[in-house]
Structure 1
Amino acid sequence: MARSRNIKPGFFSNEHLAEVDFATRLLFIGMWTEADREGRLEDRPRRLKMALFPADNVDIEKMLADLDHLGFITRYTVGSFKAIQIVNWAKHQNPHVKEAKSTIPAMPEIERCPEKTGASPVQAPDEHGSFPADSLSLDSRFLIPDSLPPSPAPVVGTDLFPKFWKLYPRKVGKDKAEKVWGKLKVTQELFDLMVEALAKQVLTPDWLKDKGQYIPHPSTWLNGKRWEDEIPDIATNVHPFPASRHTGFADRDYTAGLIRREDGTYAF
């Protein structure tokens, strides 16, 4: 169900949003109206397309990937449920006190930053907020993930990320992909599953068309656990046309078996 949300003038001047096209910026605004009071919504590109762009020819999957890559949203999976968390939601919005509680599972947290106060930044359902949500100002900090203290380098899988990066066909956002990789604690067994899935996905039509522009960003692929996706069978019963037998006319000896006459002609 669509909901009313706030938008402030600074949104239109944000230098990070300027990196994406007009339709993607409009999608970002539209996602607020589709998100619940916690800033979560189902990761269903086709449904978003019908809700926000019913009359337009746009690539929602690519637009979501760009927003995720730039840090405006985070795409994640809990079990088989795919969801989206709008980053820094509580800074931008004050949901109505009577708005229904979220039914979408929260994004798994590997590491938590200790809070200085015990109060949650999200307004309780039965309480009225005493201050408005922060405006989307020119300061880029309002639209990118909060800075966190540096976490220790993961022990497991650190030597495997370079191998993954070398294999992944779309090399963008390496730093972000490496951070996600660290949270996953990749073992050799998990790495082997990833490589097996990649070997199949690179042959799918979506990954092959338009010079690979529909290949997910590496961080999106890792965050969404896309190695668990069902991969359609690639047709193997398609054979090339046989070589034509109508060739070599210029090399044939058309006088073979004939008798040459004195006038230079041939006869049987």
Structure 2
Amino acid sequence: MARSRNIKPGFFSNEHLAEVDFATRLLFIGMWTEADREGRLEDRPRRLKMALFPADNVDIEKMLADLDHLGFITRYSVGSFRAIQIVNWAKHQNPHIKEAKSIIPEMPTVEPCPVKVGASTVQAPDEHGSFPADSLSSNSGFLIPDSLPPSPAPAVSEDLFPKFWKLYPRKVGKDKAEKAWAKLKVTPALYDLMIEALAKQVLTPEWAKDKGQFIPHPSTWLNGKRWEDEIPDIASNVHQFPQSRHTGFADRDYTAGLIAREDGTYAF
């Protein structure tokens, strides 16, 4: 069920949020209306697509992954239940006092949101604050300068993945490979190590046989940190030509069995 939420001026000037596209920023706002009073919602991309973008062709899974990677949301699991926690929810939202309590299990490493008046902007169901949940008054105390606390910008490695993808010999599962790449936060130094190892692995018999069908998928290679594998030394990748049977022409006696003539020629 959609809820009434606050949006603050700092949202539009947040430099980290500007790293994602327009649709992803809109998704982030839409998720506030789908989240419960604790800032939690089920991690169901298809359901979010139908609720927030029913008429648009967007990749919700990639958009969620980008928001998770940048630290705006945290995707987590409790047993088989998959959920999303919007980061710093209690600092930026003031749920209505009659809003139902959350039934989504909290993230194991996150402390429960406090409900004591004065300690949090979240009001307890039986308590009334000075300002309604949907107030946008500039003196309400809820419009803080930034929608997220300042933090160092994450390492941007988008320019390196296309280079890796171009060099990797088995191009399958690009979407999964991009997600694995994002989690690694690849630096230029790490990228150089990857490519150096990849250049050796493509020459190994395991990768070269049967038209490369035993080359691991790129996401498997990345998730398994396969660039750290011990690679046997390749003696040479130059194959010698087999010994030709057509040799020894200069040593053959072509006059054998012939009759020598006086003029120096030969006849049968």
Label 1:217 to 1:16 Cα distance change in 2 as closer, same or farther (>3 A).
Answer: same
**Code of the aligned partner of 1:64:** L
In structure 1, list runs of 5 or more residues that go unmatched. 148-171, 175-204, 220-238, 241-268
Deviations 1:139-196 (A, max 9, x none): 4xx414899xxxxxxxxxxxxxxxxxxxxxxxx789xxxxxxxxxxxxxxxxxxxxxx
Residue 143 (str. 1) matches residue 148 (str. 2): yes
Q: Which residue of 2 aligns with 1:213?
A: 178
* 8 Å contact from structure 1 (residues 92, 134) kept in 2: yes
Label 1:218 to 1:87 Cα distance change in 2 as closer, same or farther (>3 A).
Answer: same
The DSSP-based 3-state class of the residue aligned with 2:82 is strand
**Code of the aligned partner of 2:148:** L
Q: Which residue of 2 aligns with 1:134?
A: 142
Q: Which residue of 2 aligns with 1:12?
A: 12
Label 1:13 to 1:119 Cα distance change in 2 as closer, same or farther (>3 A).
Answer: closer
- C-alpha deviation, 1:135, in angstroms: 2.3
- C-alpha deviation, 1:13, in angstroms: 1.2
Deviations 1:1-33 (A, max 9, x none): 111111122211111110100000000000000
Separation in structure 1 between the aligned mates of residue 41 and residue 50 of structure 2, nearest angstrom: 15
- C-alpha deviation, 1:120, in angstroms: 4.8
* 8 Å contact from structure 1 (residues 88, 145) kept in 2: no
Q: Which residue of 2 aligns with 1:64?
A: 64
CA RMSD of aligned residues (A): 3.6
- C-alpha deviation, 1:215, in angstroms: 4.5
TM-score for both structures, normalised by structure 1: 0.52
Separation in structure 1 between the aligned mates of residue 90 and residue 119 of structure 2, nearest angstrom: 10
The DSSP-based 3-state class of the residue aligned with 1:31 is helix
The DSSP-based 3-state class of the residue aligned with 2:30 is helix
The DSSP-based 3-state class of the residue aligned with 1:100 is coil
Q: Considering only CA atoms, is the larger Rg found in Structure 1 or Structure 2?
A: 2
Instruction: Using CA pairs under 8 Å that are at least 6 residues apart, name the structure with larger relative contact order, 1 or 2.
Output: 1
TM-score for both structures, normalised by structure 2: 0.52
Label 1:23 to 1:109 Cα distance change in 2 as closer, same or farther (>3 A).
Answer: same
Q: Which residue of 1 aligns with 2:242?
A: none
Separation in structure 2 between the aligned mates of residue 103 and residue 216 of structure 1, nearest angstrom: 33
* 8 Å contact from structure 1 (residues 99, 125) kept in 2: yes
- C-alpha deviation, 1:62, in angstroms: 0.8
- C-alpha deviation, 1:217, in angstroms: 3.8
Label 1:210 to 1:33 Cα distance change in 2 as closer, same or farther (>3 A).
Answer: closer
Moved beyond 4 Å, runs of 4+: 117-120, 144-147
Q: Which residue of 1 aligns with 2:105?
A: 105
Deviations 1:22-67 (A, max 9, x none): 0000000000000001100000001000100111111111111111
- C-alpha deviation, 1:124, in angstroms: 1.3
The DSSP-based 3-state class of the residue aligned with 2:27 is helix
Q: Which residue of 2 aligns with 1:168?
A: none
